[in-house]
Homo-oligomer: A and B are copies of this chain.
């Protein structure tokens, strides 16, 4: 037997010890609550999917450079899911006729990509996926915006973020009508624009020059990244249908009192090839974490690869790592390590069964966390254990307590002591009185 296997998890992945698992559970519960109130229903699919599901749909970068895949013992090529959308498309396609519309679904899968681990980017992460389809397009777009706001709101984030909106039709209008870029350049220039915020102006200009995009056209694209781009552009967009759609959306957000969290930003791309209408990107405004948090957009014909009728929808994906960074930097994670519940302790083995009986009775009556010591211990050790196990109260079970069926429960945070029967102590635990 080898003695030198590492105790560390695979690079780019995380172990969730109880203190981290609590934060994750708290985050996901909050998400589930908000989504549930809007009528979104949770789904899930297998962790491994047929390789072909990604080969034809997912971006080439992911398939060629980031996918984890294997061949099973029956010679089938399988991939560890790098994103949830292909699974969603497969599941919706399989039951497209019978699913009640509008379809409002979410999932919080773990996803795998072979990436160089860095802040906010890991090889395994969990990602909330939210999608709506089968309704009217402007109303779906608006609901997703409402939902993004409600999610932040649910975490107590009243400010400190903004949601940047763009529209693929507007990008097409700029490329075709304003810049007269030849159609065959749209994809490559779009991808450069997508990457531009990370490149900086001079690198971006150099890359554009390689595509024979120079002079005023190149400068226009650089200016698109500047904070005042939206304002400067507005007069040029009057005849653009996508701009009218986006304007109407912003007006409705205004009417619902949400406008201040949203902003038109013509540089938002979120992966050039994928989206076909509205595109959104939530951004953290905190100086210590000034970065994109998550994004999404409208796509056409989700289920195209499976045949059947076209189905357009709108959705977004939100990673757990960036979400947690956002919540931490804005101090929105509550104290989840606070002491709670009771430790029922006995000083000698003679009281062991009585201690177990009391613990059981307290558990049933109070519905709280009730731990036992799993061995007779001295008081000093019991208090140390209570502190390490994060309980708020200690009850000692001794001979006289068993006889009188009256127990002393000590609050180890305040030192207060309560004397009472099981019912009395349970009431106190339940009401935290």
Q: Is the CB of A47 closer than 8 A to any CB of chain B? A: yes
With contact pairs A17-B95, A69-B70, A369-B37 given, residues A374 and B124 touching in the complex (Cβ less than 8 Å):
no
| Min CB–CB distance A240 → chain B (angstroms) | 23
| Min CB–CB distance A51 → chain B (angstroms) | 10
With contact pairs A39-B341, A256-B353, A374-B136 given, residues A45 and B72 touching in the complex (Cβ less than 8 Å):
no
With contact pairs A100-B389, A385-B100 given, residues A306 and B68 touching in the complex (Cβ less than 8 Å):
no
Q: Is the CB of A6 within 8 A of B50?
A: yes
Count of chain copies: 2
Q: Which residue of chain B has its CB nearest to the CB of A135?
A: B374
Q: Is the CB of A305 within 8 A of B1?
A: yes
Please report whether the interface of chain A is mostly helix, strand, loop or mixed according to DSSP.
Answer: mixed
Q: Is the CB of A1 within 8 A of B304?
A: yes
Chain B residues in 8 Å Cβ range of A403: none
Q: Is the CB of A350 closer than 8 A to any CB of chain B? A: no
Q: Is the CB of A379 closer than 8 A to any CB of chain B? A: no
Query: Quick one: which of A18, A100, A255 has the most chain B CB within 10 A?
Result: A18
Count of chain A residues with a beta carbon within 8 Å of a chain B beta carbon: 97
| Min CB–CB distance A415 → chain B (angstroms) | 22
A184 to B378 Cα, complex, angstroms:
46
Q: Is the CB of B306 within 8 A of A3?
A: yes
Which residues of A come within 8 Å of B, CB atoms? 1-10, 13-18, 21-22, 24-25, 36-39, 41-50, 52-53, 56, 65, 68-70, 72-73, 76, 78, 80, 87, 90-91, 93-95, 100-102, 104-105, 110, 112, 114, 124, 132, 134-136, 139-140, 142-143, 146, 252, 255-256, 304-307, 341, 352-353, 356-357, 360, 363, 367-375, 385, 388-389, 391
